[in-house]
Amino acid sequence: MSSPVAGRTALLAVVLLLAGVTAGLAGSASGPAADTGDSRTLQASLGQANGTTNYLQVPDEDLQRTGLYRASVDVTAATRIDGDRLALEHAFESFRTRFERADTEAERTAAVRELTETLDDHTATLRQRQERAIDRYNAGDLGPNEFIVVLTRVDATAEEVQDTAGSVITLDETTLDYTLPPEYETQLRNYEADVLTSRGLIREVEFRPAIAGSGPSRLVYVETGSESVVVTTIVNDRYVREGFDTRALDPDGTPQLRTFLDALNRAEVLYPWAMAPSSQKQPPRVETLRNASIFSVDVSHVQGELSLYLDASTTDVFKEQQIRDLTTVTPPRTYTNGSGEFELTVNATHDTGPLEVSIVRRTTGGGANASVSIDGTSVGTTGPDGRLWTLDTRGTTSVRVTTANNATFTIEVPPGEGSR
């Protein structure tokens, strides 16, 4: 049985892998709006952008580390990731054998209880593993690739936890002479909410193959806070962004968002461009998780896809995933530099957003092959057309371009929209 979150992640993964824009997700909302208190206030961890969607970021006051990296092959890590997966697969197969051979409802329920205890242990372990990795990475005790490896391992385990819980629910639904006790069904369905901040599209589709050596190692931008991580990358002509901030979670708080309409109204405040009817391809889809303590909003807009998760108590976004089609993006800021034969142009969107580099020959107007570095890190080459989409960084970004005949040009891109 496919959960809503698993289905959403799979949909975004297909978009990323096929480099195509998916069809929009339809939905509806009804019911009276609750008093959402500070719902008119834009949360501090959201960057603002014109002509495109706002985005989750680490606030300046909590920003710990930033950098441009590429995941590298790690055989040991890949083995551990497979080991975690196989351990959960074995646990489920053992459960299924015991469940199917059980003679009484009590025996089947005991099998379910034992498996949920195993899933609880794995969920607690992956959460602790991620928290420790963030702390160690921020302190400089963990290198970038080691940090990426942990994020990837956590994601793979979280996926297996969620899939295992879904398989138990499916088994229950196809067993005619047994019904799960409500408390266990609720617990199993809640795992998708429990692992939300442990999962990520880039982790699954990009990092996992790169670490295993079965896929390319693309450039990624990573920024961290005390309890938050944001990762961006470019796949073909798609800009992909994911992030979470657990400080926006308050599971024991008093819900301020109570209805689908409350969630939509809050999303309109936080993401005004994406939620505007003129930007949408189809109406947003709203769902609830963990007894309506979490609202998810999926938006299919003219530039791509946006998935956001709102805590019902804080009314803030604690997780976000985005895919934007770069062919539909019009950068609002342009910077130029050139002399003699070449002219360099950099088109900027917003801090940590997509950045377009273009170098042309003044004599012909044609593009030139050139190498590009961002803040001293080599990020790629422009190719025959003289163009390259790459990643902006936090604050002032230094773009350096060197042509085949060693002509070098530099542009300093100042902080733009979204900077705080």
What pLDDT does 2 receive?
41
Closest CA to 248 of 35, 56, 49: 56
Q: What is the pLDDT of residue 12?
A: 56
- For residue 172, give the nearest of 228, 68, 95 by alpha carbon: 95
In the prediction, which pLDDT does 8 show?
56
pTM assigned to the model = 0.88
Report the distance separating Cα 212 and Cα 301, nearest Å: 34
Is the pLDDT at 1 greater than 70? The verdict is no
Residue 37 has pLDDT above 70, yes or no: no
Best CA proximity match to 347, nearest among 403, 301, 396, 387? 387
Give the whole-angstrom CA distance, residue 224 versus residue 45: 12
Tens-place pLDDT, residues 221-260? 999 999 999 999 999 999 999 999 999 999 899 999 999 9
Nearby residues of 116 by Cβ (< 8 Å), 6 or more positions away: 184, 187, 188
- Counting every residue written for the chain, the total comes to 420
pLDDT in tens, 11-34: 455 555 544 333 333 333 333 333
Residue 195: phi and psi, rounded to 5, are -105, 10
Confirm if 73 and 302 have CB atoms less than 8 A apart: no
Q: Check residue 40 and give its pLDDT.
A: 55
Residue 320 has pLDDT above 90, yes or no: yes
Q: Are 70 and 220 in contact (CB under 8 A)?
A: yes
Partner residues linked to 259 by β-bridges: none
pLDDT of residue 80: 95
Edge-first strand order for the sheet with 65-70 is 65-70, 219-224, 228-235, 238-245, 317-325, 304-311, 294-301, 285-289
If you write DSSP's letter for every residue of 109-155 in order, what string do you get?
HHHHHHHHHHHHHHHHHHHHHHHHHHHHHHTTSS-HHHHHHHHHHHH
Do the bridges between strand 354-361 and strand 342-348 make them parallel or antiparallel, or are there none, so unpaired?
antiparallel
Element (H or E) spanning 272, and its range?
helix 272-275
* pLDDT for the residue numbered 9: 53
Residues 6+ apart with CB under 8 A from 328: 302, 303, 304
Distance of CA 409 to the CA centre of its chain: 34
How many other CB atoms are there within 10 angstroms of residue 72's CB atom?
14
Q: Is the pLDDT of residue 313 over 60?
A: yes
Say what percent of the chain tops pLDDT 90: 84
Both structure tokens of 37: 């208190």
Cα–Cα distance, 352 to 377 (Å, whole number): 15
State mean pLDDT over 402-408: 93
What is the C-alpha separation between 302 and 307, in angstroms, rounded?
14
Contact call for residues 158 and 195 (beta carbons, < 8 A):
yes
Average model confidence (pLDDT) for the chain?
Answer: 90
Flag whether pLDDT at 157 surpasses 70: yes
Nearest to 201 by CA among 128, 152, 143, 165: 152
Mean per-residue pLDDT, 121-150: 97
CA distance 103 to 225: 52
pLDDT digits (tens, 9 = 90+) for 94-113: 999 999 999 999 999 999 99
Q: What value does the CA radius of gyration of the chain take, rounded to a whole number of Å?
A: 23
Residue 84 neighbours by CB under 8 Å, 6+ apart: 122, 153, 156, 157, 160
Q: Looking at the predicted structure, is the pLDDT value of residue 419 above 60? A: no
Report the candidate in 29, 46, 44, 36 with the shortest Cα–Cα distance to residue 254: 36
